[in-house]
Amino acid sequence: MEFIKLFDKTQIDVRVKELGQEISALYGDEPLVCVCVLKGAYAFFTDLMRNLTIHPMIDFVRLSSYTDKTSRQSRMVFSKDMEIDIADKHVLVVEDVVDTGHSMQFLTKVLEARSPRSIRIATMVDKAERRETDVHVDFVGFALDKGYIVGYGLDYAEQYRELDSIYCLNF
């Protein structure tokens, strides 16, 4: 395997700080719940929360996607649901990568049923060219059209999450 560095620690730090400023300016004193999608978003989420000038509530979800081997259909399963009531609060979902959009579409529908004021999505990496659903990402760290990426929370077979930069993994 070959690792090709796409975004280094300095680039990530600068971009996360900018996103923190944008998010803080948007929400101000409004009631906000920031939701980390585990496991991949943990590094981005932690750094983003530290770069906010506001004080949101935080919570976590974990989604698992199981693909039917006979079709392209996949089934989303919660293995960890939120604990905070989001009714009449703004919700910011923080994800590592949004590509096809299926996971974010599923999570958004689940959260909409809980009557939040709004739902927005922040992602470290947006692969909009791979989008198969109508999912809009409101805050994008970096746009990327292709490549299997690891580092900064992103994994390959549960490895490489600890890397402080984002790499394209060539097999």
All domains of the chain, ordered by start, with CATH? 8-67+74-149 (3.40.50.2020)
Q: What is the DSSP string of 32-88?
A: EEEEEEETTTHHHHHHHHHT-SS--EEEEEEEEEEE-TTSS-EEEEEEE---S--TT
Q: How crowded is the C-beta side of 53, counted as CA atoms within 13 Å?
A: 10
Q: What is the pLDDT of residue 78?
A: 81
Q: What is the DSSP string of 30-47?
A: S-EEEEEEETTTHHHHHH
Q: What is the pLDDT of residue 77?
A: 80
Counting as low any pLDDT under 50, the low residues of the chain are: 70-71
Angstrom distance (rounded) from CA 74 to CA 88: 31
Q: What is the pLDDT of residue 33?
A: 98
Q: How far is CA 96 from the centre of its chain?
A: 4
Q: What is the pLDDT of residue 67?
A: 57
**Catalytic member of 13, 99, 134, 155:** 99
Q: What is the pLDDT of residue 129?
A: 87
Assess whether 99 carries a catalytic annotation. yes
pTM: 0.94
